[in-house]
């Protein structure tokens, strides 16, 4: 009997290792992995490049109408790159300039409506792992497996630092700590689908887990939900 294909929704604070786990799960299960944060980052990149005034609703709506987002699988990364109007935006979306603005952009109602509609279409055939902030609460409230990831704040800061230092040796630990704290605050206090744990989400605290351990634990949960 073929195993049931499900939707796996992963939410949590910034830099909790959501995308690492999501990517590894997708590879193991032969599922699609969608990084919903990449969509908000690509929209932010477009807004920054075009100096869109975030307080001007008409300007925001017009900008959104000009944005086309798509994902193209990258064999090397074993994950999809996000394309912003036919340009691979992956090299730019994790720059600090984008990280500093993205939570503000993601709090705009029109932006969320646009992104969520596209995310829901991508989940139509199931067999998908999506990570973000509102996946289990707003995008896929009926997902078969919901995870809420957390990790000790200092562990998260150091993980992020190691990741960013490789491409930007000028970055400081304080800068990263400040950005993570601010984004978590904005993401969890905004009016539009704030970050919160869905009542039926399983908490995964990976402060003291290796990648392999966390993957094994979650694959057991998947096995259980796909019976």
Binding residues (CB under 6 A) for ligand DC: these are: 14, 36-37, 40-41, 102-103, 106, 132-135, 183, 187
Least separation, in Å, of the C-beta of 128 and ligand DC?
14
Least separation, in Å, of the C-beta of 190 and ligand DC?
8
Least separation, in Å, of the C-beta of 227 and ligand DC?
28
Q: Give 105 or 222: the residue with its C-beta nearer to ligand DC.
A: 105
User: Is residue 46 a contact partner of residue 63, using CB atoms and an 8 Å limit?
Assistant: yes
Least separation, in Å, of the C-beta of 126 and ligand DC?
18
Is 100 exposed, middle or buried (CB count within 10 Å of its CB: 0-12, 13-18, 19+)? middle
Q: Give 23 or 41: the residue with its C-beta nearer to ligand DC.
A: 41
Q: Give 25 or 106: the residue with its C-beta nearer to ligand DC.
A: 106
User: Is residue 13 a contact partner of residue 150, using CB atoms and an 8 Å limit?
Assistant: yes
Q: Give 123 or 132: the residue with its C-beta nearer to ligand DC.
A: 132
Q: Give 18 or 214: the residue with its C-beta nearer to ligand DC.
A: 18
Percent helix, strand and coil across the chain, each to the nearest 5: 50, 15, 35
Q: Give 105 or 218: the residue with its C-beta nearer to ligand DC.
A: 105
Least separation, in Å, of the C-beta of 89 and ligand DC?
12
User: CA-to-CA distance for 140 and 116, rounded, in angstroms?
Assistant: 10
- Alpha carbon 184 to chain centroid distance? 13
Render the burial of 199-227: b for 16+ CB within 10 Å, e for the rest. Answer: eebeebebeebeeeebbeebeeebeeeee
Least separation, in Å, of the C-beta of 102 and ligand DC?
4
User: CA-to-CA distance for 25 and 21, rounded, in angstroms?
Assistant: 6
């Amino acid at each position: 009997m073929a195993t049931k294909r499900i939707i796996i929704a992963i939410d949590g604070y910034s830099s909790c290792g959501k995308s690492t786990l999501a990517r590894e799960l997708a590879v193991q299960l032969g599922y699609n992995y969608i990084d919903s944060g990449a969509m908000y980052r690509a929209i932010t990149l477009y807004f920054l490049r075009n100096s869109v005034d975030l307080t001007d609703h008409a300007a925001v709506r017009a900008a959104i109408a000009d944005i086309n987002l798509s994902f193209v699988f990258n064999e090397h990364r074993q994950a999809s790159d996000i394309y912003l109007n036919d340009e691979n935006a992956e090299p730019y979306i994790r720059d600090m300039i984008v990280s500093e603005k993205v939570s503000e952009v993601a709090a705009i109602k029109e932006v969320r409506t646009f992104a969520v509609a596209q995310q829901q279409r991508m989940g139509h055939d199931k067999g998908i792992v999506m990570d973000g902030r509102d996946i289990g609460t707003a995008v896929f409230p009926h997902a078969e497996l919901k995870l809420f990831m957390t990790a000790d704040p200092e562990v998260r800061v150091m993980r992020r630092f190691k990741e960013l230092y490789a491409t930007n040796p000028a970055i400081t630990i304080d800068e990263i700590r400040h950005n993570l704290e601010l984004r978590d605050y904005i993401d969890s206090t905004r009016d539009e689908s704030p970050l919160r744990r869905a009542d039926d989400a399983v908490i995964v605290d990976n402060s003291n887990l290796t990648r392999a351990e966390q993957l094994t634990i979650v694959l057991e949960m998947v096995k259980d939900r796909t019976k």
